[in-house]
Amino acid sequence: MRTLSPQDLLDLVDGAAIFSAGGGGDPETGYRIAHKLASEGYTVRLVAPSEVPDNAKIVNFACVGATTTVEYDADAAVKTLRILED
């Protein structure tokens, strides 16, 4: 398990975008998410698959839709995850 720095998150945006085939949503929104997480004091922890206990439950999360219209509302995204957890 490692904690990602704000720079790690910005590198993640640029690197993941290289594998995006020109989709995957706008990196500018990715940068905004990275800055906001840092300024609001959240910690991002990255865990290697080998470190995950076999009985752990792991949820998939994403946005779906046209690439031209995706905006991002963190509260609504968190609410979506919470409903799946319930």
Partner 1 sequence: MIPVELGGFNTLAAVDVAARCGIPVVDADGAGRSVPEVHLKVYTIGDIPLIPMVVADLHAKNIVIAKETADSKAAERIARVLAAEWDNSAYTARRILTGAQVKTSPIQLSLSKSMQIGKLLRKTVDPVKAVVKETGGFKLFEGIVDCCEQETEAGFTFVNIKLRGTRECAGSMFEFKAKNEVLVAYKDGKLAAIAPDIITPVHSETGKCITAEKIEKGNKLAVLGLPAPQKWRTSKGLDLWREVLRRSKILEEYVPIQQLHQFEKPNPSF
Give the footprint of partner 1 on residues 3-62 (CB under 8 A).
4, 8-30, 33-34, 36-37, 42-50, 52-62
CB of 38 to partner 1, least distance (A): 10
CB of 85 to partner 1, least distance (A): 8
For residue 20, what are the CA distances in angstroms to 17, 26, 56?
Answer: 5, 10, 28
Residues 6+ apart with CB under 8 A from 64: none
Cβ pair 63, 23 in contact under 8 A: no
CB of 6 to partner 1, least distance (A): 12
What is the DSSP-derived secondary structure letter of residue 28? H
